[in-house]
A and B are shown apart, each in its own frame.
Chain A
């Protein structure tokens, strides 16, 4: 493990092969996870063992004068515990992601959220300057490869949802208590209703924490639900351009949009959204941001 100049810990992920996506036999799998196919990661890389933290992002903001898309464009998606509604509000930003502020004040060791894909890119540009070498978001294939850590089960902790209890901050009784109108929640109580400080749960075989749950994680790829049918075997990087995707089933009446991939499930999603292969728990435009989506970075060895 190495630690870079901003105190970010990174673990070496070796080159290797894995089966990406889900088999037809998995009843929880969605169509966009098929066909399951062999992928080769040809070059080892370093991956942050944690999601980028609020403290790291603050340093970026302080040293660059950066304003996030949410700050410039009127806020991000967040929860108001008073009304139980998820909506975009100007006061929801990376330093306070929901209402009331006491509940969503983002402390230094929390994963930064309410950051768009564009914001994550800007952070990487800044960090590349600091480190003198390219930092970037992982590709979707790198992400799934790193998440699985050699496993072929639904979660890196096993096939059972129960197995997430120790390895992921998911929607559970602690969240249901704060947000009764939520329609799903695990029965256990992990003491973290919303996001938790990074590294509070057990890591996977590569030493990566919070790959399941906590904040969702931006990947570099454009989202294409049919990508797996024709993606290359070696180091797939996603389609060259975003595909207009119909989201009217999620947001009634919304026009089709282009999306970037978000992986790993979040603290308020149904548990199947945390599966290693899940691709569409959240679909977001690169300028969109939400209280449950952050990112982690990768760099070359």
Chain B
């Protein structure tokens, strides 16, 4: 939820609480016991806001269930009142049912009052509505000829990057700057799956760059615990099992495809463009962050708190640590150490990649935007780009600057890199921030077991 919007909403609610309390105290002077003990005006206000959101939902088809969960809906929850599902505001932890029961009782006794109060409340509610209208809402979802689901991402504005207030923000995420996405576009709900990529390979006889070069992709060896490129690591299989301690990992057709280079992703897009008769492409970095945030300004698309990641993302957690052991005497870890050291204590049941769509979507209905696999974007990576990028539809610099990667590959010369967004199944928490851009920068021919892509397409007029 947008922090400004949240503040505004709370302000409005507080105002309404005062208003309601004053009015009710006057109206129900004789019923003082009822008002002071049971008729909590705050709960009444909460209920009214919830009712409004419910109304908004029924009137405005753009307001999807997913959107409601994050905006407006984030402040309400569904409760069962006498068999009827009703939304109530979360801000008030008391027993909502009690308040609602009392509210109905009051209205039964004083039906004339009801009209008066609701009329006065319209103004307040309109203000809330105005605020909610500013939050971008997703358009309809569609399914294309290969069964790929896409959602219409609306045009809109957002603040791209991070401010100094985020202690995890790196210099390349600054300055935070306003960006306008001028045209709506379709984005796939999920990362491209193994099944979809297989169809592409079958219909083109395509060989990925890792397969062509014979060097393979970067994968994980569970026998040694080492991460590295092996010729046998490809999009079909990228894990060397430890037969003594099988991981039982199976890459199914529903898993996101990995071990594909930026060039491989583009080849897939051209194939899909031919099939669909319209351009499919990788998102720009700006489109990606806009779609990931989906109206939020928090560090993660579901809040500022790292623990919230448990719900929305397949990240490095106890499930991974259990399976991944450093089994050699080589540095940098001690033999027998469970990796990665920063893994979160919870266990989501997915040590490596998870089938797509196993975690909660964002407000636009997009799944796995963070975690699971990193996602190629179309832009060249320039750490200084935000200082001078265009405000409208930035597409990245025309060519990539040479970037030092010796921190990751000691001794490697500087290279030009493409942007990879969204963090992967083995990252520390900071990588899952909506603004993170540097954790998985890669050269366009590189491919690895943690990087895939999702596609975007134009919206037909």
Q: Give the B-binding residues of A (Cβ under 8 A).
A: 60, 63-66, 121-122, 124-136
Complex: A65 Cα to B458 Cα, angstroms: 10
Chain B: how many interface residues by the 8 Å CB criterion?
Answer: 20
Contacts of B266 in A (CB 8 A): 122
- Knowing A63-B278, A65-B281 touch, does A126 contact B273 (C-beta < 8 A)? yes
Asked if A63 and B277 make an inter-chain contact with CB atoms under 8 angstroms apart, the answer reads: yes
How far apart are B97's CB and chain A's nearest CB, in angstroms? 55
> Residue among A60, A65, A66 with the most chain B CB within 10 A?
A65
- Knowing A129-B275, A132-B275 touch, does A64 contact B205 (C-beta < 8 A)? no
- Knowing A64-B279, A65-B281 touch, does A125 contact B205 (C-beta < 8 A)? no
A134's partner among B203, B269, B273 (CB-CB below 8 A) is: B203
Asked if A132 and B270 make an inter-chain contact with CB atoms under 8 angstroms apart, the answer reads: no
Asked if B272 and A129 make an inter-chain contact with CB atoms under 8 angstroms apart, the answer reads: yes
- Knowing A125-B270, A126-B273 touch, does A133 contact B278 (C-beta < 8 A)? no
From 249 to 284 in chain B, residues with beta carbon under 8 angstroms from any chain A beta carbon are 266-267, 269-281
Closest 9 CB pairs of A and B: A129-B274, A126-B274, A129-B271, A64-B273, A65-B279, A130-B274, A129-B275, A128-B204, A125-B270
Contacts of A126 in B (CB 8 A): 270-271, 273-274
For this complex, 11 residue pairs linking A to B, each with C-beta atoms less than 8 Å apart, are: A60-B274, A63-B276, A63-B278, A63-B279, A64-B270, A126-B270, A128-B203, A129-B200, A130-B274, A130-B275, A132-B203
Q: Give the A-binding residues of B (Cβ under 8 A).
A: 200, 203-206, 266-267, 269-281
How far apart are B395's CB and chain A's nearest CB, in angstroms? 12
13 further interface pairs, Cβ-Cβ under 8 Å (given A125-B267, A126-B270, A132-B275)? A63-B277, A63-B279, A64-B269, A64-B270, A122-B270, A127-B274, A129-B270, A129-B271, A130-B274, A130-B275, A131-B274, A132-B203, A136-B205
Contacts of A66 in B (CB 8 A): 270
When C-beta atoms are compared, the residue in chain B nearest to A128 turns out to be B204
- Classify the secondary structure of B's interface with A: helix
Complex: A124 Cα to B273 Cα, angstroms: 12
> Residue among A64, A127, A129, A136 with the most chain B CB within 10 A?
A129
Contacts of A136 in B (CB 8 A): 205
Complex: A159 Cα to B433 Cα, angstroms: 70
Complex: A126 Cα to B270 Cα, angstroms: 5
Contacts of B279 in A (CB 8 A): 63-65
Complex: A128 Cα to B199 Cα, angstroms: 11
Complex: A64 Cα to B267 Cα, angstroms: 11
How far apart are B270's CB and chain A's nearest CB, in angstroms? 4
Complex: A131 Cα to B273 Cα, angstroms: 12
When C-beta atoms are compared, the residue in chain A nearest to B277 turns out to be A63
Contacts of A60 in B (CB 8 A): 274
Asked if B271 and A128 make an inter-chain contact with CB atoms under 8 angstroms apart, the answer reads: yes
Asked if A64 and B203 make an inter-chain contact with CB atoms under 8 angstroms apart, the answer reads: no
Contacts of A127 in B (CB 8 A): 274
Asked if A133 and B203 make an inter-chain contact with CB atoms under 8 angstroms apart, the answer reads: yes
Contacts of B273 in A (CB 8 A): 63-65, 126, 129
Contacts of A122 in B (CB 8 A): 266-267, 270
Complex: A136 Cα to B204 Cα, angstroms: 8
How far apart are B198's CB and chain A's nearest CB, in angstroms? 14
Complex: A165 Cα to B277 Cα, angstroms: 40
Contacts of B269 in A (CB 8 A): 64
- Knowing A134-B204, A136-B205 touch, does A128 contact B274 (C-beta < 8 A)? yes
Complex: A223 Cα to B84 Cα, angstroms: 74
- Knowing A63-B273, A64-B273, A129-B272 touch, does A124 contact B278 (C-beta < 8 A)? no
When C-beta atoms are compared, the residue in chain A nearest to B271 turns out to be A129
Contacts of A132 in B (CB 8 A): 203, 275
Asked if A124 and B204 make an inter-chain contact with CB atoms under 8 angstroms apart, the answer reads: yes
Complex: A64 Cα to B458 Cα, angstroms: 10
Contacts of B206 in A (CB 8 A): 125
Contacts of B204 in A (CB 8 A): 124-125, 128-129, 134-135
When C-beta atoms are compared, the residue in chain B nearest to A60 turns out to be B274
> Residue among A121, A125, A126, A127 with the most chain B CB within 10 A?
A125
Contacts of B274 in A (CB 8 A): 60, 63-64, 125-131
Contacts of A129 in B (CB 8 A): 200, 203-204, 270-276
When C-beta atoms are compared, the residue in chain B nearest to A64 turns out to be B273
How far apart are B274's CB and chain A's nearest CB, in angstroms? 3
Contacts of A133 in B (CB 8 A): 203
Complex: A24 Cα to B275 Cα, angstroms: 48
Contacts of A65 in B (CB 8 A): 273, 279, 281
Contacts of B277 in A (CB 8 A): 63, 130
Complex: A135 Cα to B267 Cα, angstroms: 13
Complex: A127 Cα to B273 Cα, angstroms: 9
How far apart are B325's CB and chain A's nearest CB, in angstroms? 38
When C-beta atoms are compared, the residue in chain B nearest to A61 turns out to be B279
Contacts of A135 in B (CB 8 A): 204
When C-beta atoms are compared, the residue in chain A nearest to B272 turns out to be A129
Complex: A228 Cα to B91 Cα, angstroms: 79
Contacts of B275 in A (CB 8 A): 129-130, 132
